[in-house]
Structures are given as C-alpha cells and as structure tokens.
C-alpha cells in the first residue's frame, strides 16, 4: 500500500555557509526550461556556449574546458585519476581538510605522495615548494588548494607554476571556492589543471564541476602507459563528446547545465573584475562587523579569503548552540569547523548571489542578539 507523502515544503534559508550558496532567481527560472536530447542540435550548441563561457570565467584558451558531471570532488578525482599513474610522485601542499582529500585520492591512484606540511590556516611559500620539488625529482604533479574552504585561507599562487615547471611537474589547483569570487587567471598564472564547483561563487545548484586542462597536461594524458582507471571520469572519452566528434559518453543533467550556463552569463554580465571587487568589499564589511562585535577572525588579513570567512568562536560560547539559534530563530545557515578546528570557528560564506551587504547586516545583528543574551 502506497504511503501518502506531503508536498515538498523546504524553508527558505539564508545560505551563508561554505556552500551551497544562494541561487540567483534567473538561474532557477532557466532551470525550468524544457529538456532536449543529449545529441539534439540545440543541446550541442549549448555545450559550445557553455565551454566558451567557462573559458572566459577561468581566463583560459584551453580547448579542454568543460563542466564535469558531479560536485567539486568529482573535479578533484578527475584530475588525479587522469594525470596520475602508479609510481608517480605527487607533491601536495597540506594546510587544511581538502588538501587531505587530495592526498587520499592521489594515493588511491597509485601515487607516491609527498606532503608539504603547514598548520591549518597557514599558506605555503614559493621557497618551501622549490625546496620540496628539488628534493623529490622527478615530480609528476604539484597540487595546491587555492581557496581552502575548511580554514578560510587564500593561497597566493605567485611563483608556484614557475617552480613546478622548472622541475617538470604539472601545476594543479583546486579553485572550488575561488572561481569568480577572487582573482584567478589560469593561463597568465601558468596553471596546467584546475577544477571548481557550480554551487560556490558561481551561484548555481550543486552537481557540476567546471574543469580545465591545457595542452601540456593533455600530452601527458594521451601518453599514459596505463588506461585511466575510472570509466566515468576518463577524459580521453569525455573530450570526444565535448569536442566536434560528439561521441556519446554519459547522459548529462540537462537542467543543471541550463542553470550553469545562466550563472556564467550572470558572472560575465557583472564583469569578472567587478565581481571580484564585490566579493572583497562585502567580505571586508563582514570583517568590520565581526570585529565590532568583539569577535576574532581566524586567518590573518593578508591571507584571508573573500568568499569564505572563518570567525573564532568566543571563549565560553557553544558553537553548535549559536548555529542552531541562527537557523531556528533567524533562518540563517552558517557552518562550524571540522578536524582540528571543530568547535573553534564559524565558517561564513559570502559567495555569488549570497555576497550582498544586507546579508552581512542581518547576520551581524542576529549574532549580536544571540551573543548578548537577547535570544
């Protein structure tokens, strides 16, 4: 006997956590567009448009620039399963939760992982990278998290590609929480492989991972001695669907692609530099508001990420209690820390459509009332 299920009635939360961020109404409207088949001429034209839009947002001319089916972790796994072969040396800067995930994935695909250890919230220097790469030659990949979502630290990339290339390594970055929210220029900065996610600064629903790889990376991919050990994420097959061959690989989520296309249009309508400026300005407004409440920020200002801020939980305050009150009384969603930062920080995301001055004002007033005993 079938069980009656009520209509879906999800509360309208103000999403100010590490993702997903709020989705622009234009994106939501676009996602209600009628579906077409995965080889329909209209769909194939949309694929080309989507790639062109992604190239503009990544600031790259890379032919292989496309949205992978899946979340940001799909992009990460795509990078490691395609460009790592058993026995390869991979150097990873380890300063937060998502660099640990990089290490795990690289090991799963047979890499010898060399870690450059830094405290959570700290950043790496080119000198540290140079020393490690020199000591462990030959290195296949040098990987960094550009914007570490677990700590709120923005990793400077100046000099990193040059160091990697001097030692024959690919330079790979995770820009899940930075793409379109902070300055990022794939070609100018010498990045060989990069991946992101649709639900952060792009302001779209989760489910797609923008990905780009240059010719240098593709030459290594096509010269593999072993087959890519992951059918669903094998770029040697996927590229043939996204290029002029149009060889079917798997059925894409039409609705998610509609949404991403519209989200990318919004990014470029605003202008990349203006969008970067907005994220920085709204973040600085948040930092001012938090400091006026007597709250400390976890990351030093010079390495602070505009799209995600980590606020230290005050002495004597219960992290989860405050977040629960924010959600239940004010309908505001922020996140706590994990790993060594569990119970010690709040993570406040101001990404894409969520990056608005009125959101900061509401959050800071709600925190003032909670922390000063009115709620």
User: If you average pLDDT over residues 59-66, what whole number do you get?
Assistant: 98
pLDDT at 148: 98
Residue 287 above 70 pLDDT? yes
pLDDT at 4: 86
User: If you average pLDDT over residues 140-168, what whole number do you get?
Assistant: 98
Residues 184, 187, 190, CA angle at the centre, nearest 5°? 95
Task: Find out whether 90 and 147 touch, Cβ atoms under 8 Å.
Answer: no
Residue 206 above 90 pLDDT? yes
| Residue 330 burial (CB count, 10 A) | 18
pTM of this structure? 0.97
User: If you average pLDDT over residues 315-335, what whole number do you get?
Assistant: 97
Domains of the chain: 14-18+271-371 (3.90.1150.10), 25-268 (3.40.640.10)
Mean per-residue pLDDT over the chain, rounded: 97
User: If you average pLDDT over residues 151-165, what whole number do you get?
Assistant: 98
Residue 374 above 80 pLDDT? no
User: If you average pLDDT over residues 154-166, what whole number do you get?
Assistant: 98
User: If you average pLDDT over residues 108-113, what whole number do you get?
Assistant: 98
User: If you average pLDDT over residues 66-76, what whole number do you get?
Assistant: 98
Closest to 211 (Cα-Cα) out of 182, 176, 240, 246: 176
pLDDT at 373: 75
Residue 375 above 60 pLDDT? no
């Amino acid at each position: 006997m079938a069980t009656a299920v009520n209509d879906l009635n999800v509360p309208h939360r103000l999403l100010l956590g590490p993702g997903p961020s709020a989705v622009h109404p234009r994106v939501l409207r676009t996602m209600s567009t009628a579906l077409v088949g995965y080889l329909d001429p209209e769909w194939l034209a949309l694929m080309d448009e989507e790639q062109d839009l992604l190239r503009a947002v990544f600031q790259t001319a890379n032919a292989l620039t496309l949205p992978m089916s899946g979340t940001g972790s799909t992009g990460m796994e795509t990078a490691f399963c395609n460009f790592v072969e058993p026995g390869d040396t991979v150097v990873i800067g380890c300063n937060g939760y998502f660099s640990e995930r990089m290490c795990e994935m690289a090991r799963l695909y047979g890499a010898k992982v060399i870690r450059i250890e830094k405290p959570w919230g700290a950043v790496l220097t080119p000198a540290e990278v140079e020393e490690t790469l020199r000591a462990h030659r030959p290195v296949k990949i040098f990987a960094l998290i550009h914007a570490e979502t677990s700590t709120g630290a923005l990793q400077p990339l100046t000099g990193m590609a040059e160091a990697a290339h001097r030692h024959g390594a690919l330079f790979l970055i995770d820009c899940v929480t930075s793409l379109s929210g902070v300055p990022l220029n794939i070609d100018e900065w010498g990045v060989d492989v990069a991946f992101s996610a649709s639900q952060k600064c792009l302001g779209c629903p989760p489910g797609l991972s923008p990905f780009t790889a240059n010719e240098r990376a593709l030459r290594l991919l096509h010269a593999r001695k072993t087959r890519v050990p992951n059918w669903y994420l094998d770029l040697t097959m996927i590229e043939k669907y996204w290029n002029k061959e149009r060889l079917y690989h798997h059925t894409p989520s039409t609705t998610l692609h509609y949404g991403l296309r519209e989200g990318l249009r919004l990014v470029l309508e605003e202008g990349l530099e203006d969008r970067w400026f907005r994220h920085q300005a709204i973040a600085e407004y948040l930092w001012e508001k938090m400091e006026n409440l007597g709250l400390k920020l976890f990351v030093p200002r010079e390495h602070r990420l505009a799209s995600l801020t980590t606020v230290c939980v005050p002495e004597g305050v219960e992290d989860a209690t405050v977040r629960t009150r924010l959600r239940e009384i004010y309908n505001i969603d922020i996140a706590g820390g994990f790993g060594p930062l569990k119970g010690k920080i709040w993570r406040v995301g101001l990404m894409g459509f969520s990056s608005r001055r009125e959101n900061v004002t509401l959050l800071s007033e709600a925190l003032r009332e909670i922390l000063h005993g009115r709620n």
